[in-house]
Structure 1
Amino acid sequence: MDFNTLREWLTLENIMKLIQEYRALGPLPGIFLPMLEAFLPFLPLFLFIMANASAFGLWVGFLYSWIGACAGAFIVFIVFRKYGQKRFFSFLQRHSQVQKLMGWVERHGFGPLFILLCFPFTPSAVVNIVAGLSKINTAQYMLAVLSGKMVMIFIISFIGYDIRSLITQPLRTAIVAVVIFLLWYIGKRIELRLNSKSKKNHQLS
């Protein structure tokens, strides 16, 4: 199967059929597909999330998608954090655009990463690689991934589960907006604590 054939095959209906076909494996198909997108960013994550919500229900589908997407992001991050200095990956750090992105991530930390990861069409694979190559605190990165992807995946799951409710039930839409703000605010507070602790540790050392 070539790339164009694969792209044509990747529809919501076909993905749902695939999940149903391997339903006997329990949560594995629902977790594996979003995880795979972290390594193959051309795959349509939003379709995987919508298919999970339709196949498993809103909350279970959301949970499977969130676990898979976060696990994939962490694996990519850890690989580039550990092996980014090796010869195989060294060319990436020499690239001027990568260096700019690394500096941007290191300077701004949690906030912008959280916002970027809230959007479904952000090239999260690039974000994970750049974060792994940068000197950003691992806890800050993990916090941004967990909270940002939670928002993004819940919104897509919500749309995939009941797309009409966004229009017919504006209260639900308002609740989603409030949740986004609360997650951002809580994340910023935690980031401030992490920064203060790292400064204290640096001063003590």
Structure 2
Amino acid sequence: MDFIQNIYNIVNDYWLLSIMVGLTSVFIESFLPILPLVAIVTANAALFGMYPGLIISWIGSTSGTICLFLLVKKIGNKKFIKILKNEKVEKAIDWVEEKGFKLLFLAYACPFLPACVVTISQGLAKRHTTDFISAVVAGKLVMFFIVSYIGNDIMGFITSPLKVVTLLLITFLAWKIGKKLNKDLDNFEKKRMHEE
């Protein structure tokens, strides 16, 4: 418990630096999806409070995702970006093009989908920037609100069985949606293969 108190003290003493670390870490996660986004957002909410943590995470992650999209869209025809055009990205491009805004919104609202692959595929597909940004802003706001709500009251979730059950149901629902969308992506690919 002293460790957690020490972290709170550091955040209070160096609040501007702490905000920059929280913002930068979710920004970088957009480019390096190996970083644990849910853990970073939860930590931001636990350290800064629900709404400040939500805003820090949302601004950082949304900015990073939009920068990645614009970067891929700008240099998408260059040779080294061809490495990113693998089978999974090609499937994602075709699938998201067919499904449109609704799918993009769900992809960014569900933490169990590879948002980086969706972002890269949309940049390569040259999706209209305003359509992409509106889906990212709305989808990430929904996901980060839920994660920040949990992160803000972690002790309440640990000690309250009802909150734990609610968290498990939300997590299960998000996982099922992600699984269904991944299955739909695979079915779309099989359907496309049969048509060719």
Q: TM-score, normalised by structure 2?
A: 0.71
Partner of 2:31: 39
Match of 1:127 among 118, 138, 152: 118
Q: Percent identity?
A: 38
Q: Is the 8 A contact 1:105 1:134 kept in 2?
A: no
Moved >6 Å (runs of 4+): none
Counterparts of 1:6-155 in structure 2, within 5 Å, are 20=11, 22-25=14-17, 27-93=19-85, 95-155=86-146
Deviation string 1:18-77 (CA, Å, 9 cap, x unpaired) is: 973853426312211111111111110111111111111100010000000001101110
Q: Structure 1 stretches of 5 or more lacking a match?
A: 1-12, 177-205
* Structure 1 residue 168, shift from structure 2 partner: 4.9
RMSD: 2.8
* Larger RCO (alpha carbons 8 Å, 6+ apart): 2
| Distance of 2:111 and 2:87 partners within structure 1 | 26
| Alignment: residue pair count | 159
* 1:42–1:17 Cα change, 3 Å: farther
| Distance of 1:39 and 1:30 partners within structure 2 | 15
Q: Is the 8 A contact 2:89 2:120 kept in 1?
A: no
Q: Is the 8 A contact 1:57 1:161 kept in 2?
A: yes
